[in-house]
Amino acid sequence: MNKFGFSTHASRVIDYETIDTKLISYIVENEPSFASCISCGSCTATCSAANLTYFNIRRLNVQIRLGEFEEIQQEIDKCMLCGKCMLVCPRGINTRNVIMLIKRGLTTLEIKK
Amino acid sequence: MIDVIIIGGGIAGLETACTLHTQGIESLILEKEKEIGGKLTQWDSLFPSNRNAKELVETYKDEIQKHTITVYVNTKVIAIKKQNDGTFEIFTSREIVFKAKTIVIASGYSIFNAERKEEYGYAIYPNVITSADLEHMFATKKELKAPSGRTLERVAFIHCVGSRDEKVGNHYCSRLCCVTGVKQAIKIRQMLPETHVFNFYMDLRMYGLGFEEMYREAQEKHGVQFIRGRVSEIAQTNEGRLQLKAEDTLAARPVRMQVDMVVLLVGMEAPECNSILGKSCNIQYNAAQFIVPQDIHYSSGITSAEGVFVSGTSIAPLSVFDTINHARSTALAVSNFLMPIQNE
Ligand SMILES: Cc1cc2nc3c(=O)[nH]c(=O)nc-3n(C[C@H](O)[C@H](O)[C@H](O)COP(=O)(O)OP(=O)(O)OC[C@H]3O[C@@H](n4cnc5c(N)ncnc54)[C@H](O)[C@@H]3O)c2cc1C
Ligand code: SF4
Ligand code: SF4
Ligand code: SF4
């Protein structure tokens, strides 16, 4: 049989039926202010890690909501816990605590990575 | 000859009449419906304070009665004619012709007909409703369910339906639908704590007193999720759920979501009568048919036609707070205008 070399891509569509919400629930429970993020990006603007690498704390919020744990895992250690992001957040979110909770959540919660 | 005839007995018309009364000026209100109060008679509770809308309407009804202000209900104004002496004749659905020295247009707004956005399936799928329908459900139903009877696991609100949309010819922002969406999302979470609520928005416009606080409360206290992206279409699944498509623009990925009910945050349009009255009396109105005040900062209650004033949402979408303030300032403009006539 001839092989035409057709293949398909994995879907990029976000499917809310399959999203794992364990990590977001865990973070919001322990740091309720996190729910008030408005994706303004000033945390990322001030972050040294973001200026030098692909690390983006603003995007982490979205990735946590969508359960993209693999990417979070790859990126999270680039944070130096300096706390500059906390100083600029207009919603007063304790972003450093959020990072700590992500780290703890990734090791203690049963989530598929 | 009546000093002032007010067209429309919504809160704008009622407040203008009450303020005029305290200034010693009597007015007559013409209302096309069978009762006064306008849209507020259909709403449940009002942002930003959660006060009962009916209670506010009752307060106005009491004031109108106390001041013995005359109201003609079931009286639809169809034309105004300016006389050579500067006074007006007002033609209505009744046979008599009313005569007045001045006119206040307080004919309010109409709600965008959601059937025009066919891709959202209003009046096609039973569980697609509008914010006005939901307000009515809050006011009349004890238990909240989708119209088909489904329990609500997930509800989606769609912002900007009929506003900021070239496709329906409305370029402007209706200003109140964002905060209405927040108000109603909170209410659903309070009534049904297990239900997940998502708001799909393009921009969130929390311009008014207390609005931003409500938004933050919706996020932090009530767990409402805000997704930045405009829904492109809605379809019903075989199981009777609604599947919607959007982009989560902050994640830069398309989203598909199934929900049990969709609430369309419909915009506010100018009523048809604005252009009819405008033409019959040479009053300036804009492309969206809202009446254009003479000076938007300094004299927002005065129209381009001498002796014709405007009060409330006839000029633009306004909240109750803004409507009442505008109605009061219009009353002052009317009394300033009439004062020299009365002193003659
Ligand atoms: C879904 C929804 C929820 C809302 N919730 C809130 C809220 O919680 N808080 C808040 O502050 N605002 C809210 N609003 C806005 C609020 O409805 C308006 O601020 C208010 O109704 C404006 O009052 P009005 O008198 O200008 O207009 P209307 O309420 O529209 O009154 C106009 C009156 O004029 C009459 N009329 C029209 N044409 C004629 C004619 N030719 N002859 C005679 N009479 C005529 C009409 O019958 C009506 O009675 C909401 C709006 C929507 C769409
Ligand atoms: S604490 Fe981490 S995320 Fe925040 S500014 Fe420092 S390096 Fe960036
Ligand atoms: S600064 Fe605060 S509100 Fe802005 S994106 Fe970062 S966490 Fe969110
Ligand atoms: S108030 Fe919000 S929902 Fe309404 S038109 Fe403006 S941006 Fe859209």
Look at B255 and A65 and tell me if their CB atoms are within 8 Å: no
Residues of A in contact with B182 (CB under 8 A): none
| Chain A nearest C-alpha distance from B248 (Å) | 8
Beta carbons within 8 Å of B221's beta carbon, 6+ residues apart: none
Distance, CA of B57 to CA of B339 (rounded, Å): 30
User: Residue-wise pLDDT tens for chain A (113 aa)?
Assistant: 777 888 878 788 998 888 999 999 999 999 999 999 999 999 999 999 999 999 999 999 899 999 999 999 999 999 999 999 999 999 999 999 999 999 999 999 988 76
Name the phi and psi angles at B157, rounded to 5.
-105, 135
Look at B258 and A17 and tell me if their CB atoms are within 8 Å: yes
Beta carbons within 8 Å of B154's beta carbon, 6+ residues apart: B195, B196, B197, B198, B257, B258, B259, B260
Name the nearest CA neighbour of B19 among B336, B340, B254, B342. Answer: B336
The confidence score (pLDDT) of residue B49 equals 94
Look at A14 and B253 and tell me if their CB atoms are within 8 Å: yes
The confidence score (pLDDT) of residue B342 equals 62
CATH assignment, B2-109+270-338: 3.50.50.60
Nearest CB among B219, B228, B251 relative to A66 is that of B251
| Chain A nearest C-alpha distance from B99 (Å) | 55
The residue type found at B92 is T
The confidence score (pLDDT) of residue A4 equals 80
Straight-line distance from the first to the last Cα atom of chain B, in angstroms, rounded to the nearest whole number:
16
- Give the count of alpha carbons within 13 A of B311, CB side only: 34
Which tokens belong to B278? 């405008």
Integer angstrom CA distances of residue B196 from A109, B226, B257 = 22, 11, 12
Collect the ranges in chain B with pLDDT lower than 50. none
Distance, CA of B277 to CA of B65 (rounded, Å): 28
Residue extents of the structural domains in chain A? 39-113
Which chain B residues touch A if contact means CB-CB below 8 Å? 216, 219-220, 223, 225, 228, 248, 250-251, 253-258
Domain B114-267 has CATH 3.50.50.60: yes
Is residue A14 less than 8 Å (CB to CB) from chain B?
A: yes
Look at B258 and A14 and tell me if their CB atoms are within 8 Å: no
From atom 6 of ligand 1, which residue's Cα is the shortest distance away?
B46
- Residues A4/A87, Cβ–Cβ less than 8 Å: no
From atom 51 of ligand 1, which residue's Cα is the shortest distance away?
B176
Count of A–B CB contacts within 8 Å? 40
Residues of A in contact with B253 (CB under 8 A): 12-14, 66
B163-216 pLDDT, tens digit each? 999 999 999 999 999 999 999 999 999 999 999 999 999 999 999 999 999 999
From atom 7 of ligand 3, which residue's Cα is the shortest distance away?
A37
Nearest CB among B219, B251, B258 relative to A62 is that of B251
Residues of A in contact with B248 (CB under 8 A): 14, 62, 66
The confidence score (pLDDT) of residue B341 equals 64
Is residue A13 less than 8 Å (CB to CB) from chain B?
A: yes
- Residues B103/B89, Cβ–Cβ less than 8 Å: no
Look at B219 and A62 and tell me if their CB atoms are within 8 Å: no
Residue A90, Cβ density class (10 Å: 0-12 exposed, 13-18 middle, ≥19 buried): exposed
Residues of B in contact with A36 (CB under 8 A): 216, 219-220
The confidence score (pLDDT) of residue B343 equals 63
Residue extents of the structural domains in chain B? 2-109+270-338, 114-267
| Chain B nearest C-alpha distance from A40 (Å) | 10
Fold equal for B2-109+270-338 and B114-267: yes
Look at B250 and A39 and tell me if their CB atoms are within 8 Å: yes
Ligand 3: atom nearest CA of A88 is 1
Chain A 17-76, residues with CB within 8 Å of chain B CB atoms = 17, 28, 32-33, 35-37, 39, 59, 62-63, 65-66
